[in-house]
Amino acid sequence: MVKSLSQSLFVICLSILIHLSAKAQLAPKEGLAAIRETDLKTDLYTFAGDGFRGREFCSPDELRAAVWLADQMRATGMKPAGIDGTFFQFFNVRRDQLSASSTIKIGDRNLILWKDILAIEPFPSNIDADIIYIGKGTKEAINSADLAGKVVALIPTYDDLDLNVAFPKVRFMQRLASLKYRSLLAEKKVKGIIFLANDEFTKTGWHEHVRARFERGNYRLDNGLHTSAQNNLSIPAFWMLDKDTELLKTKKIRFTANLTTDSFLYPSVNVIGKIEGTDLKLKNENVLITSHIDHMGVREPQNGDSIYNGADDNGSAVVAMLAIARAYNQKPAKRSQLFISFGSEEPYLFGSTYYTQHPTVKKEDIVAVLNADLIGRNAIDSAAILGTLGANNTSKLLTQMALQANDEGPKFKLDTVWDNPNHKEGFLYRSDHAPFLKLGIPSVFYTTLLHPDYHTPKDDPEHIDYKKLRKMTEWMYRTSWKVANATARPVINPDFKYRR
């Protein structure tokens, strides 16, 4: 009887402790009240307005936006947590592009690069060979033609390619077509490939996105690791419009090209601020709340607008980060909050990659990463959190905290499709939390997913749903509060494998 009573008292005490612990991890009212739609809207109309010209990565506009952001961070109560007592951590990005001195001719006609012809990659090459036009690039046409030592001109086909993806035109013209045909033509010993844009799909791609991407060249993080775009399958490849088909059909016509490259270093920057925790021991641990500064800049006009403002991508997360900082300034947590907006995310996660190579706090003192990208569009009651499902589950405890935070506040219906480990977009690895996952740091990714204005000049502040953006901000804040105050810190799921 005594033993039974002792067990009962133990269970009651344990239940009380669990209840009190859970209550202690509920986000405080004063913090929630500091997250306001009006602040989010005011900040976003400035950050994603025309004044910053789309904040193109590796440009003065990105740097100007970073200075504005640092000023706003200071105003929220953050302390500088970058390098040398500043909010900034600078790094370099190397850009390789074809030189303006490059020349291309077909017969006696000089082609104007980026107008008459597009070169897919910027690597040096010299070509002097006959052109052979084979029409549609079927396996039969390729196998039946004598292509050795020639430049083959063809109309690419779409068979064996899955184009039900985001930006299918860009992916097809920039990567998929060349991958498909280079592997087929490598054994034929061709000197070059000319793809013909002969339908609405490829012609639209040429004018809306692809030409500018090719002209800008390739970017890589300048971290001492040189990776060349050229390999044994890198046959020089080009795009031309079908208006030049008759020229390409001319018998014994010569293709001559002398392609040279220029290489430039560009500065980019991470902006880093901190609100210190209150617990003497736990304040040395950091919960990271992250976003990215940059977008696509000024590019080809669409419906009269050429500024790709990136209000949702990723202005929505930047202003959410500022709002969360205001909440912590009202009431700090036990652990510290480290707020980072990374530079040059768009080329491929350069700022976050650089940070994981040169962290401003000890890696072991990073408790978790809560990253947001595209959090202000689509149905108001629906959202997604990646890094929580099946083999994509990065941390069971972090997932539990995030789902509890959703139930306690915004109560979004969760779209789990994009968190499927087999989803072809691989969205879990396409934002700034991914380099942290590679290091084994628990991370989740908040998003409201893609929409038709993504990476277009129509991604403007007036199209953001500010009620939804406030709810997404609240969700992140509630989650971070739990992580920042819990006795146990999240750990990486031992079954999680980085799959990119």
Give percent helix, percent strand, percent coil of the chain, each to the nearest 5: 40, 25, 35
CA–CA dist 361, 388 (Å, integer) = 26
CA–CA dist 209, 240 (Å, integer) = 15
Q: Where are the domains of the chain?
A: 28-95+265-485, 100-259
* Nearest in space to 256 (alpha carbons), one of 43, 33, 366, 107: 107
Predicted pLDDT at 183:
85
One-letter amino acid identity for 264? F
Q: Please state which CATH class domain 100-259 belongs to.
A: alpha beta
Under 8 Å between Cβ of 355 and 435? yes
Please name the fold of domain 28-95+265-485: Aminopeptidase (3.40.630)
61 contacts: CB under 8 Å, gap ≥ 6: 52, 53, 54, 55, 297
Q: What is the CA radius of gyration of the chain?
A: 26
349 contacts: CB under 8 Å, gap ≥ 6: 342, 431, 432, 434, 435
Under 8 Å between Cβ of 321 and 291? yes
Under 8 Å between Cβ of 499 and 394? no
Under 8 Å between Cβ of 35 and 410? no
DSSP assigned state of 48? T
28-95+265-485 matches 100-259 in fold: no
pLDDT in tens, the chain (500 residues): 344 545 554 444 434 434 444 455 899 999 999 999 999 999 999 999 999 999 999 999 999 999 999 999 999 999 999 999 999 999 999 999 999 999 999 999 999 999 999 999 998 999 999 999 999 999 999 999 999 999 999 999 999 899 998 899 999 999 999 999 998 899 999 999 999 999 999 999 999 889 999 999 999 999 765 444 444 447 999 999 999 999 999 999 999 999 999 999 999 999 999 999 999 999 999 999 999 999 999 998 888 999 999 999 999 999 999 999 999 999 999 999 999 999 999 999 999 999 999 999 999 999 999 999 999 999 999 999 999 999 999 999 999 999 999 999 999 999 999 999 999 999 999 999 999 999 999 999 999 999 999 999 999 999 999 999 999 999 999 999 999 999 999 999 999 999 87
131: enclosing H helix or E strand = strand 125-136
Long-range contacts of 400-406 (CB under 8 A, 24+ apart): 401/25, 401/479, 401/482, 401/483, 401/486, 401/490, 402/444, 402/475, 402/479, 404/482, 405/27, 405/475, 405/478, 405/479, 405/481, 405/482, 406/475, 406/478
- 221 forms bridges with which residues in the sheet? 93
CA–CA dist 389, 395 (Å, integer) = 10
Predicted pLDDT at 23:
52
